Amino acid sequence: MPLKTHKPTSPGCRHRISADFSDLTVKKPEKSLTVILKKKSGRNNQGRICIRHRGGGSRRRYRLVDFKRNKDEVPGQIISLEYDPNRSARIALVQYRDGEKRYIIAPQGLQVGDQIMSGETVSSKLGYALPLKKIPEGSFIFNIELTPGKGAQLVRSAGTAAQLLSKEKKYAQIKLPSGELRLFPLQCKATIGRVGNIDHNSIKIGKAGISRRMGRRPHVRGVAMNPIDHPHGGGEGRSAPGRHPVSPWGWPTKGKKTRKKNKASDRLIVQRRKKR
């Protein structure tokens, strides 16, 4: 995906780097594959704010993406590459031979007119979805299932890819983008290739107004508040918090580990992710 720089006609444009959508198909989204996305604004089912600094934002519809890829042995053709406002990756509209249309996550290098398939007997080509037991070792994959038939849950963000290292007995060993080595059942499906839109991390929004369009409201630092408003507040001049980072209610944050101990899935982790 190419990037676009802007002339410094305003402070917001001076350092802005945005996406160039010239490689996408100019069309409206498939109406039958979109649904209304009601905004939650960071609120739970009781209407209380449980995630701060959310709200507003541009209106958007949710695209129904096929993460299961369970239309086996039926060839499909890519008829468009489209932007999805709900995720960093691009999506592709596939029309199968029987006339059905589905959205999928678009891998890097996929073009309009290409053919894709899924199933156990198909070859390991770009965009094809196969069980791990049929994928050659050393292949780069994405859209990986954790439970067979549940649908892809891992490696779906723009530019990411995992590598299939080895297969033994019932499990395949995969190196995830985080550096973690993990075992997956051989019946789980994955897609060949790397997620597209690899330059997504190079985008600079340039101004606060674009954050508001994304549904992000202003975030005020705790050290800039008064002691009554935040545990980090107060002090003469610019003072440090004087304690480990906490939320306004005193909960540990910024690095506090929240993963539960002794989870059932821990036995499938061969090596933890890299320490950052």
pLDDT of residue 5: 93
Count CB neighbours of 38 within 10 A.
7
| Length, in residues, of the chain | 276
Radius of gyration of the chain (CA): 22
Rounded Cα distance, 88 and 91, in Å:
10
Q: Domain coordinates of the chain in residue numbers?
A: 3-201
Structure tokens at 39: 């905004």
pLDDT of residue 207: 93
Query: Which one-letter amino acid corresponds to residue 79?
Result: I
- Match 């049929």 to its residue by tokens: 134
Q: Does the predicted TM-score (pTM) go above 0.75?
A: yes
Closest alpha carbon to 128 in 80, 72, 196: 72
pLDDT of residue 262: 81
Low-confidence ranges of the chain (pLDDT < 70): 1, 275-276
In which region does residue 254 sit, left (phi positive, over 0), alpha (psi from -120 to 50) or beta (all else)?
Answer: left
Rounded Cα distance, 42 and 48, in Å:
8
Query: Do 111 and 78 contact (CB within 8 A), yes or no?
Result: yes
Q: Which residues contact 144 (CB under 8 A, 6 or more apart)?
A: 152, 153, 154, 155, 162, 174, 184, 188, 189, 190
Rounded Cα distance, 127 and 189, in Å:
12
pLDDT of residue 264: 82
Query: Do 86 and 46 contact (CB within 8 A), yes or no?
Result: no
- With b for 16 or more beta-carbon neighbours within 10 A and e for fewer, the 208-227 pattern comes to eeebeeebbeeeeebeeeee
Considering the domain 3-201, what is its CATH architecture?
Answer: Beta Barrel (2.40)
pLDDT of residue 275: 63
Rounded Cα distance, 110 and 81, in Å:
9
Structure tokens at 20: 């160039």
Structure tokens at 222: 């705790």
Structure tokens at 234: 């107060």
pLDDT of residue 1: 61
Q: In angstroms, how far is CA 15 from the centroid of its own chain?
A: 25
Rounded Cα distance, 8 and 174, in Å:
45
Rounded Cα distance, 155 and 256, in Å:
24
